[in-house]
Structures are given as structure tokens and as C-alpha cells.
Structure 1
Amino acid sequence: MSIIEAIIIAIVEGLTEYLPVSSTGHMIITSSFMGIEKDEFTKLFEVAIQLGAIMAVVVLYWRKFFDFSRWQFYVKLIIGVIPALILGALFSDKIDAMLESPTTVAVSLLLGGVVLLFIDKAFNHPTIHSENEITYKRAFLTGLWQCIAMIPGVSRSAASIIGGMQQKFTRNIAAEFSFFLAVPTMAAATLYSLFLKKWSDGTIKGYELILQSQDNTIAFIIGNVVAFVVSIIAIKFFINYLKKYGFKIFGWYRIIVGVILLVLIYQGIIG
């Protein structure tokens, strides 16, 4: 992976991580379209680049993350992330296998888009108007919804936002709680890929793979910086847009991209 390719993937990650359009799906599509070799570092990069996106949420909502007097906030995040940690550990190999399938991404984008067309009307009577009103039970159930996003193309953001709205959160609160929940969820996945998972047929850990060459190290650093900056812009845009217009445009976007991707796969342009 070249530095330019790393920057492009980082921009895609930053733009799509917190929008309900699937960042993983878009990175898989981008990698396939650009012909980036799916080697071990590329696979690791597409997970580890989440560090930049994680820091964007922490920086934007730093008052909430560093107000240690509000211990309930941290408990809710821990409870919400438990389902993803358990299922992620149990089905890690199957998830990795699905990550290499553009067809899975295309179908997930298409079906998820249909759902988003109707989400505003389906859950239009919210009763939870602030994060303080979210109970531990609702946090756990929202975390269960998030697990659907282990299927590439579903979108962690979309799944957790839909889960939050199903639990009677307003659109705004559902989106913000999705951002908060992303921090421990993505941090766990990233730290696992860097320090616990063995790459290259079980011979090397993630951080060793990054340090294996100067090109890998530079790509990792620059990629996370770019993802951090772009994620901040994307989050601000998404919250402002969501308050005014809802999810329908994202639904149509997913459907169009899903159909185009299926056509490209059928024609052998993307494999």
C-alpha cells in the first residue's frame, strides 16, 4: 500500500465511519476498485485506522468523556459494548472471511438502504431526549443492535442508531450515543488487531507488522491523522443534517451504491 492509497482509504474511513453508510464496506469497495493488494498490512490498516476516528469523537465530546463525576456514562458504554465484545471474539474468523466479499457489502448496502428509507416514520415517537435518560437496559439493547454491523456493509453507525431509535431515543440522541458507543467498540477491535491477533499465518502481531517497514509505519501514522481530521468534519455535518432532514438521503445513497456495486461485480470489474 502506497502513501497515496493510505490517504485515500483514510479519507473514506473518516467520511463514512459515523455516517450510516458502512465505512468497512466503502473501504472494501475502494480497495477493490483501486486494485490495492489485499495483503496482511492492508487488512490490518483498514481496522487500525479506526484510531483516528475514535480520537475525533473523544476530542469533539471531550467534556463528556473526561467528566469523571458522571460515572453512569462510562457504565452505560461498558454495558453497551459487551455484546459486540462477546460476539466479536466468538466469530472473529467468520467476520474476517466476510470482509473479503464485495458481494456481501453490496447486498448489505442495498437492504440497509431500504430500511433507512422508512426509519424516520417507523420510530417517530421518541421519549428519550437526553443521554442521562438512557437506562442500562436500553444501552445494552442498543449494543445488541450494533452487533448486526459485524456483517460488512451493514454499518455500525446505522445499526446502533436504528437500535437507539427503536429504544425511543430521538434521532439526535441516537446518533450521539452511537458515536459514544463507537469509542470502546472500535478501540477493542483496534487493540485486538494490534496487540493480540496474529498476522501472516500466526507469526507476527499487528504492531510488529506496522513496524516491519518504514512505509508501513508512515502509512499508519498519516492514515490515522487524515482519518481524525475528516471524521471531525463528517460528525459535525451529520449531526446538523440529521436534525433537519433525517435518514432518507442516506437510504437512497446506499441503494444506489449497492446496485452499482452489484453491476460492477457481475461484469467482473470488481471481484
Structure 2
Amino acid sequence: MDLLLLAAFLGIIEGLTEFLPVSSTGHLVLLVDLLGFPAPSGKTFEVVIQLGAILAVCVAFFPRLWQALTGVATVRSEQLFVRNILIAFLPAMVIGAGAYSMIRALLDSPMVVAVTLVLGGIAILLIERLNHTPRYHAIEQFPLPLTVKIGLFQCIAMVPGVSRSGATIMGSLLMGVERKTAAEFSFFLAIPTMAGATAYSLYKNWAALDFSAFGMIGIGFVTAFITALLVVRVAIGFIGRHGFAPFAWYRIVLGLVMIGVLALR
């Protein structure tokens, strides 16, 4: 495959999967490592296309983010909104920094990804079938203990294939957050979480970074941004109509297929 087309393809995969409960990291691991698609320009490419996805969620929710930024000094509801996002981010920041080496080792295992895709899909189906009685319908309503617990749920996604958005949303549902609000909180929480993970990855891999292939990196960034922007704009409506079961079945089928491929190899 032409490297420019490959860069565009991997950028699209990143944008499609980053904010859905299907694991973007798992998809990239399977495509890059298992199926033999070399990531253009090494670690740099993987880092930069994540920045494209971060920018997409900032653009999609710019009015809400601007409202929070301009009101955080004086408006109590905006202070609570910002507080809850930052507090939920802290567990991932602390645990992620401490467990970085183990996480990188796990990321190199396609079998871990395949198994966690299946297990995560089953977990989503089970949680979806529970009788949820929402108690929280807005992010600024979250009490502090709830925010911390959601942040801890997000840390489960450090195991590749689990899905950051999936862990955050399912944890929120289990603790009484309304479905649409859970999805929105996952998107907002992605901003500091992904920005922090990207910055830490740049720091850890700075000596190995290769910025020579600017064309491929730029194409991956743009395609990740455009695709993620489209996904973010339609995801909440889709989830409101169909729930999370379609994503669960997709995870299970993909995981089982990959387990079969690995067994044959």
C-alpha cells in the first residue's frame, strides 16, 4: 500500500475509534503489529494523529468549553464543570505515569487486545441490560466522590483493547449517570487525558522521534481530525437511539476473529 494512503487509512481508523467504546489503541495495535501495516515515521505518527482527535473534540464542543472557560472565575456551575473534569483526570495521570513501562509492554501484545475486545464487549452487553435509574443529568451535578470513581474506571482502559471511552461511559452508567451525559463527560474527559498521554509519550520517546516524513504525518493528522469531528458530532445521537449494544457486538466479533487469526499463526 502507498505510504500516503496508509497514513490516511490509519488516521481514519484513529478518528473513527477514539471516541467510541471500541478501543482506538487496540485497532492500531492490530493493524500496525498484527496485520503488518508499518506506522509511518514511527512513534511520531501515532502521537500526532492523537493530537488530531483531541483537536476535533475541542472544535466540536467549543461553545461549551468557551462557556466554561469564561465563567470559571465567577459562575459556580462552570467551576463544578471544570473541577469534575480535572478531578476525573487525576487518577489516569498518576497511575499512567507510574505504570508506563508495563502499559507499553502490554501494547505490544495483539492477543491481549483481542481478548480484551471480547471481554469488554460482553461487559457492555451486561451493563446495558441492567435496569438503570439515572440520578445525574448534568456534569456539574456530579458529587466529588462520583467524579473520582469515574476517573478510576478510566484507568482500566490502560489495558489495550478495553477502550477509554467505553470504560468511562460504562462506569458512569453503573453509578447512575444518564446515558447522554455519560457520553458527553467521556468526550470532555478525553481532552486532558489524551493531551497528557500525548505529552508524556513525547517526553518518553523524544530521542526516537522522527519528524522527517511531514507529509505522511500531516495526512494522518488531518484525516484523524476530520473523521473524529464527524464521529463526535453524530455519536451522541446514535447512542441515544441505539445504546451501546452495536459497539459491544462489533468488539466481540472483531476480537474472536483476531483470536482465530492468532491461533492459526
| Percent identity between the two aligned chains | 41
- Say which of 197, 206, 209 aligns to 1:189: 197
Pair 1:60 & 2:60 matched = yes
Amino acid across the alignment from 2:57: V
The equivalent residue for 2:176 is 168
Structure 1 residue 197 displacement after superposition: 1.2
For residues 119 and 240 of structure 1, the distance between their equivalents in structure 2, rounded to whole angstroms, comes to 20
Amino acid across the alignment from 1:155: S
For residues 229 and 127 of structure 2, the distance between their equivalents in structure 1, rounded to whole angstroms, comes to 25
- Say which of 243, 264, 267 aligns to 2:240: 243
Structure 1 residue 46 displacement after superposition: 2.2
For residues 149 and 125 of structure 2, the distance between their equivalents in structure 1, rounded to whole angstroms, comes to 22
Residues 48 and 193, structure 1, Cα contact 8 Å, conserved in 2: no
- Between 1:163-172 and 1:253-262, the stretch displaced more is 163-172
Residues 106 and 153, structure 1, Cα contact 8 Å, conserved in 2: yes
Residues 126 and 170, structure 1, Cα contact 8 Å, conserved in 2: yes
SS of equivalent to 1:66: helix
Amino acid across the alignment from 2:16: L
- Say which of 214, 217, 234 aligns to 2:231: 234
Q: Gapped runs of 5+ residues in structure 2?
A: 72-77
Structure 1 residue 146 displacement after superposition: 0.3
Q: Map 1:66-145; keep pairs closer than 5 Å.
A: 66-67=66-67, 68=69, 69=71, 70-122=78-130, 124-145=132-153
List per-residue Cα deviations over 1:72-104 (Å, max 9, x = no partner).
222211101100011111110111111111100
Structure 1 residue 34 displacement after superposition: 4.4
For residues 101 and 123 of structure 1, the distance between their equivalents in structure 2, rounded to whole angstroms, comes to 36
For residues 200 and 90 of structure 2, the distance between their equivalents in structure 1, rounded to whole angstroms, comes to 15
For residues 197 and 154 of structure 1, the distance between their equivalents in structure 2, rounded to whole angstroms, comes to 23
For residues 197 and 161 of structure 1, the distance between their equivalents in structure 2, rounded to whole angstroms, comes to 29
- Between 1:185-194 and 1:102-111, the stretch displaced more is 185-194
Structural RMSD (CA)? 1.7
Structure 1 residue 140 displacement after superposition: 1.4
For residues 149 and 123 of structure 2, the distance between their equivalents in structure 1, rounded to whole angstroms, comes to 19
For residues 134 and 124 of structure 1, the distance between their equivalents in structure 2, rounded to whole angstroms, comes to 17
For residues 157 and 248 of structure 2, the distance between their equivalents in structure 1, rounded to whole angstroms, comes to 16
Structure 1 residue 219 displacement after superposition: 2.1
Residues 44 and 193, structure 1, Cα contact 8 Å, conserved in 2: no
Amino acid across the alignment from 1:243: G
The equivalent residue for 1:259 is 256
Structure 1 residue 5 displacement after superposition: 1.6
List per-residue Cα deviations over 1:127-166 (Å, max 9, x = no partner).
1112221222212110100000000000001000011112
Q: Normalized against structure 2, the TM-score is what?
A: 0.91
Pair 1:219 & 2:216 matched = yes
Residues 210 and 220, structure 1, Cα contact 8 Å, conserved in 2: no
Q: Normalized against structure 1, the TM-score is what?
A: 0.89
Q: Sort the Cα spacing of 1:117 and 1:72 in 2 relative to 1 into closer, same or farther, 3 A.
A: same
Amino acid across the alignment from 2:113: V
For residues 35 and 52 of structure 1, the distance between their equivalents in structure 2, rounded to whole angstroms, comes to 24
Structure 1 residue 33 displacement after superposition: 5.0
For residues 149 and 222 of structure 1, the distance between their equivalents in structure 2, rounded to whole angstroms, comes to 27
For residues 100 and 45 of structure 1, the distance between their equivalents in structure 2, rounded to whole angstroms, comes to 17
- The number of equivalent residue pairs is 256
For residues 100 and 24 of structure 1, the distance between their equivalents in structure 2, rounded to whole angstroms, comes to 11
